[in-house]
Structure 1
Amino acid sequence: MDKVSEIPEKKWTVNDSDSSIDLDYLNIAEEACSFIEENEVIYINSGTSGNLMCRYLPHAFRYSVVTNSVRIADELSYHDNIDVYVLGGKMRCRGVCDDMMTLRQLEAMRFDKGFLTGYGVSSEYGLSNTSINTAALHKTVIENSISSVVLVPSYKIGRTGFSVVDEIEKISILITNKDADKLEIKKIKDKGIKVILV
């Protein structure tokens, strides 16, 4: 059995306790938050790393967050320094909206930074997902962001999902773990992507 098939696809949310969460995800989420700057408009998607970013978001200055997650929006509503915009549409499991109504709202928005997760990232196929709807949302966020930051644990490096989001060259920054496949990371870096290993 290969390494990827041994990893369970656990989805952590803002409501999970620290003891149940994989440290790789927490390290990635914390590093991602260090890129947020004052007065920016950022997008945080509904994946595990997006949910966990809520724990590390800056409190010292103002900025705006757009999300397609009702749970993330609810958590951020307690932060006085954050203007929160939640995208609507048909809600599915874990309070996530990702239908055509959600996509139409996203198409009219622009972001300083888009923080995205996915099923996998590879030098050949870029960012991919298992959901066609989510892939369409992520592609729109990448197109409408000055900088796109992809957050995936090391076991997702070199992996490709059913639905391709966008080519690797469209990603500005990739944050993953130090034990990521070295050859695949080199190939990604060789395509001009800034890679941060935590």
Structure 2
Amino acid sequence: MKLYGSTTSPYVRRIRIVLSSTEHEFLNLQIFSGADRDLLASRNPTLKVPCLEDDGRVIFDSRLIYRYLAEKLGHTGLSWEEENQLTLIDAANDSFVQLMLLKRSDFDISQDKMYYRLQNERIEAVLGALSEQVDAGGLTGWAYPEICLYTMIDWVLFRELHNMKAYPQLLAFHEKHHHRIEVTATDPRN
């Protein structure tokens, strides 16, 4: 089993955490240029990470990779509530990624432009909804939705995309899981 990705991607990190007790090869790629970009393109036409190669199959997306791994490794499938939680997490994560890529491409994302406003509006709405769920006693375990929430929050803090101070419940959630062995082993700061 081969996992193609980068150490800084929150989508890759969630799969690395899921695979933490499963033998696999992790290929840490420089995904934006050079030979690694070519390798990624040869495996995944979306040119995104993660990408999983196993038993002659290539799976292109973290959500599908998790579904595949859950089936293969005998993990419990996701409930509809968990699927909805993942939709929220992925929506905010995708918006954060878009804003980061724009910023790295020298766009002034602080301007009052519709695209930037929509991304920021989505981020705040989702963070608010997730914060309410945590405050109401949700997302208390360490299953795939919690892993995804943790990796998103940690990546946002790592990239300094949002200080999260308006969401103390999410910061407390992050702190609660910060010292897990699989979290420290996949920390992008190392």
TM interval, short-chain normalised: 0.3 to 0.5
The structure richer in strand per residue is 1
Higher Rg: 2
The structure richer in helix per residue is 2
Normalised to the residue count of structure 1, the TM-score between the two structures is 0.33
Structure possessing the higher relative contact order (Cα contacts under 8 Å, 6 or more residues apart):
2
